[in-house]
Structures are given as C-alpha cells and as structure tokens.
C-alpha cells in the first residue's frame, strides 16, 4: 500500500473514549483524511469502505480487543496499525507486538509525539521504490507491497512484509533479533522476551511459504541459533523486476 503525493493519507481512529477520539480526529484531520469509530464492529465496517493506510487503535474496546481487531484488519489488507494503551507492563507490550502492531503509544500521550509517530509510519508506505526484488522463486514487489512465491501471492501482514523486506534487502548479512526489532519496530530492545516475539513472526512467514510448497528453499535461516540470515539463492537467479 503506497501513498500518492497528490492526496492525503487515510487514517482510521478507533477509540471508545469520546474525548480522546475527538482530540485525535481534530488534530490529524488538519493534515490527513481521518475517520473514526467507537467500537470494533463499526471500525470494520468503515475499514472496508475507507481502506485506510494506518489505523490508530485503542487496545480496549467495548465489543472486542485491539489484539483481535488488529489481526482481523491485517488479514484483509497490509494496513499499518498503531496501538494506544494505558498499560505499560512488559507483558502487555509483548502481547501488542505479537498482535502484529507496527507501533504503540502509552496513554496519556502528547499530540506532538503522535504526529511524529504517524509520519514515521506513513514514511514506510511512501518510501518503497523500485527495483523490486527477485530471489529465485520468491518475488517481492516493493511498490505494491506484494510478495509472490512460485507465482502465488503470499498474504502477509504489514509487519510480516516489513520483516521480510528488511531481511531481503540485507541479503547475505546476518542480523540479530535485537537489530530487527530496532529497525522494523523502531524500539530499543533490552528484554529477551521481546526478542522471542521475532521468532513468532518469522515462524508465520515460514509457514505461509511452506503452504505454497514445503520443498521451496528456506529463505530465512537461523545462524548458530542467534542471528537471522536471508538466503538469496543466487544460483537460482536473482534480479529485479
């Protein structure tokens, strides 16, 4: 999903607190196209028609949780999701990461910080540029954010795409889980449990590839049980579209 320079990015704000929802809406609507919802069901209805590039999502909603809603939205598109939560415990932060969120902010927050975080997230969608990447049977279209394996589309979440894209663009270089968290999530990691969340998302990517063909090369490999390495498979032919 990319953002054209000649139109405003679409942002959906989901929060059951009327004062917070209205505050965010009025602030962001000066720069972006913004719609809002107070519950999960309404959010999904708006989501289908509005097709936002970013969803700012409260973790606690009256009819569902941010965890479930984040996963449901990312099944449908590669939308970016930023979670709002008053919870600051380490286990809550880990759960947010497992949900597939691209960022999170603790309540209360300042609008200036919100603006910066939104811009950083939207920059991900703007900055992808050709050439696209081809690694044998695996093709990554950086412009449309589409991934194909043996000509079949892999349905990846926005976060899974970012992880795969980072590893692929650093093909041949091993990186630690901590480095991946810092580059993809934008967080400083100093806690082992956070780094284990990386394995959850890597496992999801591998399983989606295996569904296409279990015999395809294992593109993401673990080196000495510590670092991750993207196998470029140059012998199969690597190039760009």
CATH number, residue 87 = 3.40.50.2300
Do 160 and 215 lie in one domain? The reply is yes
Residue 115 has pLDDT above 90, yes or no: yes
What pLDDT, on the 0 to 100 scale, is given for residue 134? 84
What percentage of the chain has pLDDT greater than the value 90? 34
Q: Confirm if 40 and 16 have CB atoms less than 8 A apart.
A: no
Q: What is the mean pLDDT of residues 127-155?
A: 80
Specify if 4 maps to a domain. no
- Residue where a domain terminates, one of 106, 127, 148: 127
- Listed residues 127, 146, 180: the one ending a domain: 127
Question: How many structural domains are present in the chain?
Answer: 2
Residue 205 inside a domain? The answer is: yes
Contact 201, 187 (CB under 8 A): no
Q: Is residue 168 part of a domain?
A: yes
Indicate if 15 and 120 belong to the same structural domain. yes
On whether both 17 and 120 belong to a single domain, the answer is yes
pLDDT in tens, 28-49: 999 999 999 999 999 999 998 8
Residue with tokens 């607190």: 17
Query: Which stretch, 81-95, 105-119, 189-203, has highest mean pLDDT?
Result: 105-119
**What integer pLDDT is reported at residue 205 of this predicted model?**
93
| 3 inside domain | no
**Angle at which helices 192-212 and 158-169 pack, to 10 degrees?**
90
Over residues 197-205, mean pLDDT:
89
Residue 98 pLDDT > 90? no
Radius of gyration of the chain (CA): 18
Same domain, 121 and 92: yes
109: closest CA among 52, 56, 38, 186?
56
Domain of residue 139: give its range: 133-239
- pLDDT tops 60 at residue 126: no
pLDDT of residue 64: 93
Phi, psi for 214 (deg, rounded to 5): -65, -15
Q: Are residues 100 and 139 in the same domain?
A: no
Q: Is residue 77 part of a domain?
A: yes
Same domain, 38 and 118: yes
Is 1 within the bounds of a domain?
no
Tens of pLDDT along 217-226?
Answer: 778 887 766 6
Examine the domain organization and report whether 102 and 160 are in the same domain: no
The pLDDT of 115-138, averaged and rounded, is 77
Highest mean pLDDT among 16-25, 163-172, 187-196: 16-25
Task: Indicate the pLDDT class of residue 191, thresholds 50, 70 and 90.
Answer: low
CATH number of the domain that 144 lies in?
Answer: 1.10.10.10
Which of 127, 147, 167 represents a domain boundary (last residue)? 127
Could you read off the pLDDT of 22-31 as tens digits, one per residue?
999 999 999 9
Q: What is residue 240's predicted lDDT score, i.e. its pLDDT? A: 32
């Amino acid at each position: 999903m990319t953002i054209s320079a000649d139109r405003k990015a679409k942002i959906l704000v989901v929060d059951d607190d009327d004062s917070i929802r209205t505050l965010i809406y009025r602030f962001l609507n000066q720069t972006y196209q913004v719609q809002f919802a107070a519950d999960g069901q309404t959010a999904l209805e708006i989501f289908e028609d509005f097709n936002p590039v970013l969803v700012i999502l409260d973790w606690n909603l009256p009819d569902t949780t941010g965890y479930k809603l984040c996963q449901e939205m990312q099944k449908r598109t590669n939308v970016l999701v930023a979670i709002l939560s008053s919870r600051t415990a380490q286990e809550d932060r880990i759960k947010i990461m497992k949900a597939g969120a691209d960022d999170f902010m603790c309540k209360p927050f300042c609008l200036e910080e919100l603006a910066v975080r939104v811009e950083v997230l939207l920059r991900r969608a703007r900055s992808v540029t050709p050439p696209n990447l081809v690694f044998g049977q695996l093709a990554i279209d950086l412009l449309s954010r589409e991934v194909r394996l043996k000509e079949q589309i892999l349905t990846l979440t926005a976060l899974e795409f970012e992880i795969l894209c980072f590893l692929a663009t650093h093909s041949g270089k091993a990186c630690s889980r901590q480095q991946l968290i810092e580059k993809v999530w934008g967080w400083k990691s100093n806690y082992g449990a956070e780094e284990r969340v990386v394995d959850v998302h890597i496992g999801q990517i591998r399983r989606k590839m295996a569904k296409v063909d279990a015999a395809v090369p294992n593109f993401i490999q673990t080196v000495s049980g510590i670092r991750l390495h993207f196998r470029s498979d140059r012998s199969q032919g690597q190039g760009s579209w």
